[in-house]
Amino acid sequence: MLRSVLLNLSTAKWSRRLATESSLARRVASRFVAGETLPDAIRAIRELNARQVTATLDHLGESVVMADDAVRATEDYLGLLEEISKADLCANASLKLSQLGQQLSLDLCAVNLRKILDRAKQKGIFVRIDMEDSTCVDPTLGLYEQMRALGYDNVGVVIQAYLYRSQQDVEKLLSEGTRVRLCKGAYKEPAEIAFPNKRDVDKNYLALAKRLLETSQAARLPADPRRCIPPLAAIATHDERIIRAVAQYAREHNIARDQFEFQMLYGIRRDLQETLAAQGHAVRVYVPYGTEWYPYFMRRLAERPANLWFFISNFIRR
């Protein structure tokens, strides 16, 4: 119930207006967002790299309704890639296709995406296409397939374990050698297409994670000594039970630690990030920045009650 309320608020214009005008909300959101400017994000990644943690950088924004905004977002990503390269950071980029005009025109989105992938390839940077709500899954995978057919091998996608279709999608992607980030899913979806029960989501997540590990071990893609480029299997979760199960499965099946990585969100479970890194696991943190922080922030509150309590406790202290 609470999750549904928060997800509904993430798209409500009145709630967005109140939050973005509140200095308290902006301050609390800063736990999950590296800042509003690219230099803010670059500083955050430097700190992560100093702790032997890599990053993926996301310029926040989604569902643009004007072609000019999609072009502007594309230019922002080109600048982001330049700064990653200039600063010699161990980082890649994450982006949402709706920010590049997917909902306006697939052709426009493809042109913008190619510009980004071209620049990323020049700089030796990997790009991850984030997955959005269920209406975007087929267009997103279609554009990904189009980019691979054009010869781009520096791009991967995200699969959400709460969708019934994800097992089939994972099998197809793995057969093509796709680098997959597996997450649970952060959008409100009907029971007709997504597991409504958390236990079922977790069960499916672990099954898909094991499949990723098996394929990654069999493929044995060359490891990146600095771990800047992600391996085939990216296990994105803060669930300690699942993390332990994945690590144990890897040990039991002699899956090398350079063949998979754990991914987490900026500002969440830094203690766990550092523990895993100290154990020799590859850890990557998703670092978002920008002025369009509100929808992202609300989805983070919806995902974990602890995040909501953090917000409330700050309000009470205030």
Q: Could you tell me if residue 91 is inside a domain? A: yes
Q: So what's the pLDDT on residue 77?
A: 97
Averaged in consecutive runs of 10 residues, what is the pLDDT profile of the chain (318 residues)?
52 52 60 89 97 96 89 97 97 97 96 98 97 96 98 97 98 97 91 95 98 92 84 96 97 95 92 95 95 69 59 46
Catalytic annotation, residues: 130, 181
Copy the structure tokens of residue 81.
């890639």
CA dist., res. 163 & res. 275, Å (int)? 30
Residue 58: per-residue pLDDT: 95
In a domain, 2, yes or no: no
Question: Pairing state of beta strands 180-183 and 233-236?
Answer: parallel
This prediction's pTM: 0.88
CATH code assigned at 192: 3.20.20.220
Q: Is residue 61 part of a domain?
A: yes
Beta bridge partners of 284: 54, 263
Domain tally for the chain? 1
Q: Is residue 24 part of a domain?
A: no
Residue partners of 167: CB distance under 8 A and separation at least 6: 204, 207, 208
Which value, in Å, is the radius of gyration of the alpha carbons in the chain?
18
Give Cα separations from 162 to 21, 83, 116, 272 (angstroms).
33, 35, 29, 23
Looking at residue 267, what is its pLDDT? 86
Q: Check residue 85 and give left, alpha or beta (phi > 0: left; psi -120 to 50: alpha).
A: alpha
Query: Comparing C-alpha atoms, which of 316, 260, 311 is closest to residue 26?
Result: 311
Count of CA atoms in the C-beta half-sphere (13 A) of 222: 3
Residue 58 inside a domain? The answer is yes
Q: Note the pLDDT of residue 186.
A: 80
pLDDT of residue 63: 77
* Residue 89 placed within a domain: yes
Domain of residue 134, residue span: 34-292
- For residue 10, the model assigns a pLDDT of 46
